[in-house]
Homo-oligomer: A and B are copies of this chain.
Amino acid sequence: MNFYESNEKTMNSRFNTIIRDLETKSIGLFQKDFLLTWEKTTEELESVLLVAEALKEMRDKNLSTRCFDSGLAISQFRDNSTRTRFSFASAANLLGLEVQDLDEGKSQIAHGETVRETSAMISFLSEIIGIRDDMFLGAGNKYMREVGDALDEAFLDGVLPQRPGIINLQCDIDHPTQSMADLLHLKSVFGGLGNLKGKKIAMTWAYSPSYGKPLSVPQGIIGLMTRFGMEVDLAYPQGYGLIPDVVELAVKQAHKNGGNLRIVGSMDEAFTDADIVYPKSWAPYHVMQQRTDLLLNNDHNGLKDLERECLSNNARFSNWECTEEKMKLTRGGKALYMHCLPADISGVSCKEGEVAASVFNRYRVPLYKQAGFKPYIIAAMMMTNRFEKPDAVLRNIEHGGKIRKFE
C-alpha cells in the first residue's frame, strides 16, 4: 500500500450489499445499446440502478472508479443541452474515458457525408457514443439505430476493433437517462423499488408559453414507471396525446406488473391522492408530426402559422399549472414534485408557466438531487454496456483501493 491507495481496504457494508444484490441479477446489457427502457428486462433496469449506486458509494468514499486507462466517449448533441452534456462528461470522466464532441457545425457531415461512414470514422478507438436527437418525430430514435447498424456492420467487417455502445441521451420517443435517474431518485426517496408498488404517480401536461417541447419525457416516464407496479395517471387536455404506440405499450406493462395506467382529462383528477406528481409541458403528438414535415420541407411560413396556432391553443389551458391548491389534492398534500428541469416557473422564468414559484421553491432540493443521479446513471449505462460482469469489475476496482483525490 502506498500514498495512492486508500487506507480503507474494506468498503462499508452498503457497497457490499449493492454488489451482492447485483450478483443475483441476470444481465444482458453487455454490448447492447441503451435506446428504450422497454427493450430491457426489469432485472436489467435494476442492475443499472445498482451499478449507479455502487459508483456513487465509491466516489463518496473518495475511491477512484476508473476502469479505463484510455479510450473515447463520443457525444453528439443535435439539440441544445447543458445538464445532459455535463452529466455525460462527468460519467465518462468517472470511468476514465475522454469526451470528444461530434459537432456537426464543425464537421463535414453537413456536406452530405453518410451516417454510415461517419459512424465508422469516429469509432476506431471509441467505447461509447451518446446521442441526443429529439427534434423530429420519427427521426431521432431511428437515427440512433442507423448509427447502431453502421457500427454493427463496421465491427463485423473488421473495420472496428470494438463495437462502441450507444446511449440515447434523448430522442423523439424516450429519454432513458432522465427516466432512469428519476427512478433512482424514487428508489432513494421511497426506500427501495419494492416500495413503489401501488404508489400513484401523476404524469400530467402543464401549461407553457413555448411550444414544440419533445414528448420523450412523459413517454419515458409512463414507459418506465409502469414496470414497477405503480398507479400511473396520464393527464392532458384534449388534443395533447402522446405517441399512441407508447401509450398502448405502457398500458400493457402496467397490467403485467400489477399496476395501472389511466388517461384522465384534468390535472385535478390526476393529482388527487397522488404520491408523486410530474407536471411538464409537451407539444401534441400530431403537432410534432406536422412540425417535422414542415421542418423537412423548410416551410418557414408554415412553421410560423403552426407556432401561432399552437401557442393560442396552449393558452386555453393556462390553468394547467401546478399550484399550491393543486398540490393540496395530493396524498396528505405532500406528494413528491418532480421535473426534468428546466421548468417554466410562473413569475420567474415566464409570466404563467408549468409550476407556481412557491411549489417549485419548496421542492428545489429534491429536484436538484433528482438531477444529480444522472451522471451515475449514464456511467452505469456505459459500464454495463462495456463490461460483461460489472459486479466483478466494481469489486476489483474497489479492492484495488485507488483513491480519487489525494488527501
Contact = CB atoms under 8 A, between A and B. Distances in A.
Contacts of A388: 407
Given A3-B400, A93-B70, A154-B368, A117 B342 contact: yes
Contact of A82 (B96, B122, B397): B122
A45 B385 CA distance: 39
Copy count, this protein chain? 3
Given A125-B93, A349-B114, A350-B112, A406 B368 contact: no
Contact of A107 (B82, B87, B365): B82
Contacts of A405: 67-69, 71, 127, 386
A89 B82 contact: no
Given A3-B400, A124-B375, A72 B85 contact: no
B109 A82 contact: yes
Interface stretch (A57-65, A191-199, A301-309, A315-323): A57-65
Contact of A125 (B72, B94, B109): B94
Interface in A45-98: 59-60, 64-72, 74, 77, 80-83, 85-87, 89-90, 93-94, 96, 98
Given A68-B405, A114-B349, A387-B407, 5 more contacts: A70-B96, A81-B107, A90-B125, A113-B342, A154-B368
Interface of A: 2-4, 59-60, 64-72, 74, 77, 80-83, 85-87, 89-90, 93-94, 96, 98-100, 102, 106-109, 111-114, 117-118, 120-122, 124-127, 154, 157-161, 341-342, 348-350, 364-365, 368-369, 371-372, 374-375, 386-389, 393, 396-397, 399-400, 402-407
